[in-house]
Structure 1
Amino acid sequence: MILNKSSAIPFRRHGSMHKCFFCEKCYLHVADLRRHTIDKHLEKRLYNIEHYITEPFIKLDITDLTCKLCAEGLETLKCLIKHLNKHHNKDYPEIVSQSIICFKLTDKDFGCLNCGKKFKLFGTLLLHIHCEHLDRKYVCEACGIDFRNNSDLLNHTQDVHSIGEYECTYCLKKFIKERRRNIHVKNFHESRRNCLLCQETFRSKRERDRHMYATHSQQMPWYKCDKCAIKFKVKRLLTEHIRRVHLKEKNVTCEICGMRFFSNTTLKLHKVRHSDAKPFECSTCNKKFPRKSALELHMRIHTNERRYVCKICGKAFIQWTSLQYHLPHHSDERNFKCVVCEKAFKTKKTMLRHCTNVHRKGNVDTAGGTVSSQTRLH
């Protein structure tokens, strides 16, 4: 890879921050990003850089660009390629530079290396480069990713950055255009909320489908997690579950406390903790909640509403997740294995209890569904 032979540093942008190309860390000052990349990633990860490429173009910081082989200073990436081919017997085609956008980053302004124009905002510079020099007009100003058309850009902006003033009252998703919000409400909420057999109304299609399964014995397709045996109706939810629970992916950071989360949705739920606002009050016990959905779930305790029934033993549960954690008790599958004595268990809870009682101390490896002993008894 040509980047191994130079001082150039790949990077990303996240809002007003400079984002590490490899580990998602963000820095306000570009010098801090350079220092971090060189110290933590450069030597060991540039050789596998293709595994980190998620965009059509790599953004490259070529400030103070030098050749690592001879320390000669160079102005542009094309100059670097010519230099390596001529003086170091390399054979890099100039077409390599077509998948790279070069920048000379400072903390003052952002300049276009093609025409010399200066911009105060990085997003404005990106838009200029894509429109004037790359002929790609649909660019996200938040992260710099470009798209084939405006529709793809709008979908990306809403899904990834939650930018928009029109909010769905059911799921809190935001939309740039009111018409798109209305279509979303109609297709994903209003037209799918009624039970087809008893006309009971639910907040979402997912809750309705759960009701159909639990009450009317309607079959649901299942996607089973190999790690913990929990089942999902939608494959996307299984994928998210694996990434969130077992792989522990946390790519979104709270700017208030620094905690990291799987998605913008979980970040929004977390941010409520930084606020004292709890506008939803239980009329029975006066307990207050930050979200309406939390209050509705709490109210089932007072009404003893147990809509989720186990078809095997008849035990009923208030929450769908409680039923899911109960179902493995009726199965012969034992997916949770103690690595100390290799005894297997049906549920994580019983496995943890075993480790506490038998091996005294242990810590959970949630990615593998196992427990490793910190201190073995001799």
Structure 2
Amino acid sequence: MDNVNNLMEHLSQEHSIKIHFDVPYGVFPYKEISNGEWLCVYCDKIFSEFLLLNRHIVDHFKNFTCDKCGSSFVTENTLRNHNRVVKCFKTNYKARESSVSNSRNNAHIILKCSTAYPFRIWQKNFSCIFCRVQSIDPNGLRHHMNTRHANYDITKAFYKRLGNDFIKIDITNLQCKLCLEIIPDLECLVDHLREAHQQPLSSDGQHGVLPFFLKEGIHYKCAICPNEFADFDSLSKHTLVHFQNFVCDTCGEGFITESSLLAHTKIPHENKFKCNRCVAAFATAEERSAHFKANHPINLYTCTHCKDKPRFPSWNTRRHHLIEVHNYVPGSGSYECTTCQKSFKSRSAKYNHMERTHRVKKDPEVKYTCGQCPKTFATKHTLETHIAKKHYDV
């Protein structure tokens, strides 16, 4: 028998065995061919390892689908476990499986027909996908790929943890493997493969890759726009801006894949942006920023000699203010007590003197009393910090 379907039909017709054709057969069929390779009997794809076929064959047995998020499962029991554990907030959400598969197929063709090298980032090093060799220099990674993985198995480039995310590729010194023509960038490569070599690159999905010009590893230039960056982390964050294919309707945050957007929508958006100076919380980062500018001035340095307590953005600007307005004299013994005119060599010595000697004589304007407990504070900032930590439930 070539496959399980033929076997079941033979048993039913020739041996009158009752077969329930309206339900799955309950088995996973595997077929080993010559040279230790494995064949998928449903789509005729060939895999070099059993593990790769084992991951692939499940795609043909996704019989049960979640109505809310579109995730598919082999058995009804796994679907029930999904519904019990995962809370799908976006009702009737349907994932575009065709778009995902088209993107992966496009990435497969790009890697097969060009000198674009896939890579990963591990602890700020450039890592080989196939053998985990790491190099801080991109030139070292390219030399490793040319000498050790010149004819690598394309399917192994899509490692398990990649999921539906796009794979990172180095397009430095990009060439077409079919005609050895030098290609300047990824878009030109895609057009070249379609027009010159009639490669079946789908226009319905994305390219499925994140392109990077690594070059010498000193200055990193974006492969899509003219921007340049001093390190790869900055370039990587910037590159994602060009691939925000799916945008959250609630907060406006963009994502590369639809599955990333779906995972994001499962997190409630209500007031998730909290102020670190008080107990206020907001739905968007813009609202939090406006609140911070209006209620928490960034000028942290205060002049305690003036009655209106002016604030300054830096210690130096307050120092100039003290020199010009309060006759502050830089040098030893320059920190003068405004109550008894006694001088001190450091600000901490003057502060300790004020606390010990003139505590009861302080101007009441400098005191900030907590409305929930008897504690008082010298500045409004310390009072707000106290309320946020001790009385957050008020």
What is the TM-score with the length of structure 1 in the denominator?
0.35
Higher gyration radius (CA): 2
